[in-house]
Amino acid sequence: MIAEVQTGTNRTAKVSIKGVSKHFATGDGKASKRFFALKDVDLEVSDGEFVTLVGPSGCGKSTLLNIIAGFEKPDAGDVYFEGRPVVAAGPDRLVLFQDHGLFPWLNVQQNVEFGLRVLGLPKKERRERAMEYLKMVHLQKFRHSYPFQLSGGMKQRTAIARALAVHPHMLLMDEPFGALDPRTRDIMHMELQSLWMQTKKTIIFVTHSVEEAVRLADRVVIMASQPGRIRKILKVPLSHPRDFLDPSLAELRTTILAELEDELNKLVQREGDEDWHLDEKSISARARRAPEIDGGEGI
Ligand code: ADP
Ligand code: MG
C-alpha cells in the first residue's frame, strides 16, 4: 500500500517534490559563481502515472531525475517516494540511461538474471522470472545472444526487461532512446506504452524530443533553464496505446515548441557569439507550417 505523503495533500502521490533547489559552482577560485541547475521545483507524480520531462539541454532534467533516484541530494527542499524521504538510491527506483549498461560478457538471459541473482533468488525462480520478462519484450528467441549481436533497440529492450524483472516500484528513464534511429524509436515508443499498460509502473521519462514527450506521457512537464525550473505542465488527454498520427498530438507539440521558443534563444546565446539570435517565432511558426521540423529530435 502507498503511504500518505507526509507534507502533501495528494494521498496517492508516488513521488512528491517540494521546493527542490540544486546549485553547482561554476568558474574557479574567486570568480566562482553559484548557478542553479534547479530552483524551487514542485512536482507530484501519481501511482501508475507516465510523466515526461522535456526541455532544452542543460535545464536540469537529469539533475531532477538523479535527485529522485537518490544519486544526488538537493541543497533545499524535500523529495518523498511513497511517503518516505529519499535518502539513497534503491532497487525500488531503477534508472535506465541511453547507454543500456548491459554486461558484454553475459548473454541476454544472464543479463536479465543478474539483478535477480543479487537479490538472492534461487536458480529456478530466476530463470522463470527472466523468461517472463523476455517474453514481454519479445526477446525469448534471442536469450542466448550476447549484447554485441543485438541491435540498439534489442539492447534497450533487454535493459528494460532486466529492470522490470526485479519488480521496481518505478522506472526513471533518462533519454533511453536518444541513440536509436527514428524507426527503431517508433517501435520502442509502441513497446514502452504496451509494457506500461501491462505493468502499470509509474514512469518518469526525460527527453529533449517534444514529439517523444507527447507520444508517451499522461502529463508533459515543460522545463526551462537558467535557473532550471518547471515552466508548465500539460495533460495529454488521449488514451494509450496512441495513434502517433493523431492531429491532437501534433497540435500539442506545436504548443510546447512555442512555449520553448525563448529557451532556444537562451541556448544559442550560451553556446555562441553575442550577435547570434534566432528570428522571433521562427521555430514555432515553422512547426505550425511543417509539423515534422523537429523530426522527433526536438529542442
Ligand atoms: P539536462 O539533463 O536537462 O541536459 P542537467 O541536469 O544534466 O541538464 O544539467 C543542468 C545543469 O547543471 C547544466 O548546466 C549542467 O552543466 C550542470 N551540471 C549538472 N551536473 C553537474 C555537476 N556534477 N557539476 C557541475 N555542473 C553540473
Ligand atoms: Mg540530461
Question: Cα of 56 to ligand 2 centre, how many Å?
Answer: 9
Pocket of ligand 1 (CB under 6 A): 24, 37, 55, 57-63, 228
Q: Atom 27 in ligand 1: which residue has the minimum CA distance?
A: 24
Q: Average pLDDT of the chain?
A: 88
SS3 of 168, please? Answer: coil
Phi, psi of 153 (to 5 degrees): -65, -40
Q: Atom 17 in ligand 1: which residue has the minimum CA distance?
A: 37
Residue to substitute in 24, 175, 229 for testing ligand 1 pocket (most ligand atoms within 8 angstroms of CB): 24
Q: Which ligand is nearest to the CA of 173?
A: 2
Residue with cell 502517433: 244
- Over residues 169-202, the pLDDT tens digits come to 999 999 999 999 999 999 999 999 999 999 999 9
Phi, psi of 192 (to 5 degrees): -65, -40
Per-residue confidence (pLDDT) for residue 293, from 0 to 100: 38
Residue to substitute in 20, 41, 62 for testing ligand 1 pocket (most ligand atoms within 8 angstroms of CB): 62
Q: Is the peptide bond before 227 cis (omega within 30 degrees of 0)?
A: yes
Instruction: Quickly count: other Cβ atoms within 10 Å of residue 141's Cβ.
Output: 9
Q: For residue 131, what is the DSSP state?
A: H
Q: Which residues contact 205 (CB under 8 A, 6 or more apart)?
A: 50, 51, 52, 53, 173, 176, 213, 216, 217
Mean pLDDT of 112-137: 96
**Alpha-carbon dihedral of residues 82, 83, 89, 90, nearest 10 degrees?**
-40
The residue type at 55:
G
- Over residues 80-111, the pLDDT tens digits come to 999 999 999 999 999 999 998 999 999 999 99
Per-residue confidence (pLDDT) for residue 239, from 0 to 100: 94
- Over residues 195-241, the pLDDT tens digits come to 999 999 999 999 999 999 999 999 999 999 989 999 999 999 999 99
Per-residue confidence (pLDDT) for residue 189, from 0 to 100: 97
Q: H or E segment at 48? A: none
Instruction: Please indicate whether residue 182 or residue 272 has the higher confidence score (pLDDT).
Output: 182
Atom of ligand 1 at shortest distance to CA of 72?
23
Least confidently predicted of 8-22, 63-77, 133-147:
8-22
Question: Cα of 260 to ligand 1 centre, how many Å?
Answer: 19
Q: Which ligand is nearest to the CA of 266?
A: 1
Name beta bridge partners: 22. Answer: 38
Q: For residue 246, name the pLDDT band (cuts at 50, 70, 90).
A: very high
Question: Cα of 136 to ligand 1 centre, how many Å?
Answer: 34
Instruction: Please indicate whether residue 132 or residue 269 has the higher confidence score (pLDDT).
Output: 132
- With 0-12 CB in 10 A as exposed, 13-18 as middle and 19+ as buried, what is 11? exposed
The Cα–Cα gap between 260 and 257 comes to 5
